[in-house]
Structure 1
């Protein structure tokens, strides 16, 4: 089993998680990320998530709320080049009914532990929209350092104003 805290457990993304991804793909959940994807895009994303475990460069997880044992979202990391460095980018989504309980922060910290254990890159970054107060708060609570605002493209072809948050993966556990 992948990482676990008292609030959440993260488990490798699997074939059975397509419906969870469809729930995450709602207008409310995607308002800071360019809007919902088409069904074809969701299915393609799901397949990438399923395959992500075997690449060594990325990993996606289902977030399970504890003690309820209910799937409530996703969290993960993937390799990217950022300003001349190889880093992990991290992202997460928690369904609206479960937001505000610290689950996103707990899931992000569990995913950080997984990325840190790989010993591949020194830094992990997250790029939430400057308008997404909740995701920026998750970064702050998880110990990421705010480097400033930046132009970021998501989805591909759609520029957005984001905050660049960075975490040194060589540091000690912040919990």
Structure 2
């Protein structure tokens, strides 16, 4: 008889000072291969500051993805204001550390973040822009009912164009 395993349980916790170590782990080459590579320590510290301040500015939210019950940080997720094709939308982005990938954690975290964004009722759409070469992130969008709109050139990091898929989810539609 095969042993059945329960899916992991996660929680999104607002980004805090304690998450700087997690951000450094998420900056590893294997985590940033679809994002232009690792950032310098100076850029990591600036990113951490932006993550800490985003909610207070009212321009989005950043979270640590923690595994329950031990509350171990395993990734990050956030959404933020963006103007895309002359429309105010949220952009959503996430990362899950390699030992925790392939367990459905990203899908659960994106679903939870979308639910939070939906409750805010600030924008109609949330967009995700995974690299066309990132099958795992594209699969998350597909599983959660995002609509594939098109391939597009996307500037990330600033000064570099990457080829992405534009996925959109209507926050006003029924859950």
The residue number in structure 2 matching 1:155 is: 157
The residue number in structure 1 matching 2:49 is: 47
The residue number in structure 1 matching 2:33 is: 31
Unpaired segments ≥5 residues, structure 1: none
Unpaired segments ≥5 residues, structure 2: 1-6
The residue number in structure 1 matching 2:117 is: 115
Q: Give the Cα–Cα distance (whole angstroms) in 1 for the partners of residues 16 and 27 of structure 2.
A: 17
The residue number in structure 1 matching 2:87 is: 85
Q: Give the Cα–Cα distance (whole angstroms) in 1 for the partners of residues 8 and 88 of structure 2.
A: 32
CA RMSD for the aligned pairs?
A: 1.2
**2:65 paired with 1:67:** no
Aligned residues: 169
* Structure label with greater radius of gyration: 2
The residue number in structure 1 matching 2:3 is: none
Per the normalisation by structure 2, the TM-score is 0.94
Alignment deviations for residues 78-135 of structure 1 (CA, whole Å, 9 cap, x no partner): 0000001000000000000000000001001111011111110000000000000000
Farther-moved stretch of structure 1 (38-47 vs 58-67): 58-67
TM-superposed deviation, 1:6: 6.6
Return structure 1 stretches of 4+ with deviation > 6 angstroms. Answer: none
Per the normalisation by structure 1, the TM-score is 0.94
